[in-house]
Amino acid sequence: MVARHDRTTDPALLDALLQARRGTAFFARKLNELSDAELDGGTLLPGWTRRHVVAHVGYNARAIARLIEWAATGVETPMYPSPEARNHEIDFGSTLSPIALRHLFDHSAVHLNVEWRDLPSDAWHHRVKTAQGRLVPAEETVWMRTREVWMHAVDLDNGATFSDIPAPVLERLLSDITGAWHTRGTDTGLLVKVDGTDLAFGDVGAADPTTVTGPLPAVVEWAAGRGSRGVTATGPGTTEGTPAAPKWI
């Protein structure tokens, strides 16, 4: 039997797909390490159990698959009917039995992977709409999924850390997060720097900024609102320690 391969031949897109698939495998490993009883445990996300995180990641794969179907057929297929429907879906998913919850993750990941694999090369440039209303080419869905699986593997609070996330993913995450701050104007007077690199984000022109520095994984952890271990802060507003990062999402 002939093996099935991605229809796209774009090297950059194939690399991105590989990163997303590695993230999916990493999330699966951290999920499989948990017993059924441990699914009831807490996470790094306030108000969410591990059940909520697994349900969210599973339904996210289905939602992104709908965007790929849109790109393939030209028939508008939104990720979710509404924000309320998305939240209801996650809450419902968190009540599934452990085996059903695990199957949700497994089957939705396979479904998305097949949709990606079978999408013709030209359709990757077709524009679709994200849940936030942004019009993006279908290839953007690969990054959307990459971000979800790597970040939420850490959120499971089962031993994964931001140091487990590949550096290229961390750098793009930091760019996304600080870009969102800039769009909202919440980065005024805030400078974020990564040790050992020339990477600098935020209000790079500020005369006397609050500066947060540290290794890349620690800086992204802080910027994503998951903790401040490994970072240092200097300048205004730091007399009582590292300030909380501006809201990201």
Report domain 11-160's class: mainly alpha
Quote the longest CA-to-CA distance of the chain: 66
Fold designation for 170-234: Nonspecific Lipid-transfer Protein; Chain A (3.30.1050)
Identify the helix (H) or strand (E) that includes residue 233. Answer: strand 232-234
Query: Dihedral angle at the C-alpha atoms of 17, 108, 51, 103, nearest 10 degrees?
Result: -130
Residues 191 and 204: beta-carbon distance below 8 Å:
yes
Give me the residue spans of the domains in the chain.
Answer: 11-160, 170-234
Q: So what's the pLDDT on residue 205?
A: 83
DSSP string, 99-143: HHHHHHHHHHHHHHHHHHHHS-GGGGGSEEE-TTS-EEETTHHHH
134-146 pLDDT tens trace = 999 999 999 999 9
The first and second tokens of residue 28, run together, are 């699966």
Task: Say which residues have a Cβ less than 8 Å from residue 142's Cβ, sequence separation at least 6.
Answer: 13, 16, 17, 19, 20, 116
164-175 pLDDT tens trace = 999 999 999 999
Q: Is the pLDDT of residue 1 over 50?
A: no
Q: Is the pLDDT of residue 3 over 50?
A: no
Compute φ and ψ for 152, nearest 5 degrees. -75, -20
102-140 pLDDT tens trace = 999 999 999 999 999 999 999 999 999 999 889 999 999
Between 11-32 and 98-118, two packed helices, what is the crossing angle to 10 degrees?
170
Q: Determine the residue type at 239.
A: T
Mean pLDDT of the chain: 94
